[in-house]
Amino acid sequence: MTVLLNLIWLVFAGFWLALGYLIAGIVCCILVVTIPFGLASLRIARYALWPFGRTVTDRRDAGVPSVLGNVLWLLLAGWWIALCHLVTGLLLCITIIGIPLGVANIKLVPVALVPLGREIVPT
């Protein structure tokens, strides 16, 4: 079932989301100062491409730099990316067919808000 949901997600939303996160990650990695944000964006791109059967967990070894980076991310980009995921997820939940896609989009909200110090693992 997860493969079927992932294929439907990939066709209707996942490819474009992953492409956006991939471009943002590449741009952030080109700028040397923003490499941690670029790596986080690339990690989110993989998650956005194939979200069913995976979940986000906190890394216990993440320290103060991760917290400071998350505050900076939240202020500059995280809140509007998370808001876009939330609005899109709620709009997808209007239709019965779109409910699983909406839930997957809403699952991206926490990692879009604070991506550093997070790990994406299989469920």
Which is nearest to 12 in space by CA: 81, 77, 99?
Answer: 99
Distance CA 27, CA 77 (A): 14
Per-residue pLDDT of 45-101, as tens digits, reads 999 998 999 998 988 888 888 899 999 999 988 899 999 899 999 998 998 988 999
- Structural contact between residues 25 and 41, judged by C-beta atoms closer than 8 angstroms: yes
Q: Which residues pair with 120 in a beta bridge?
A: 56
Question: In this predicted model, which residue has the larger pLDDT, 63 or 105?
Answer: 105
Place of tokens 């980076």: 69
pLDDT range class, residue 23, cuts 50, 70, 90: very high
Distance CA 117, CA 64 (A): 10
Which residue range(s) make up the domain with 97? 1-122
- Structural contact between residues 86 and 106, judged by C-beta atoms closer than 8 angstroms: yes
Identity of the residue numbered 117: G
Number of separate domains in the chain: 1
Q: What is the pTM of this model?
A: 0.85
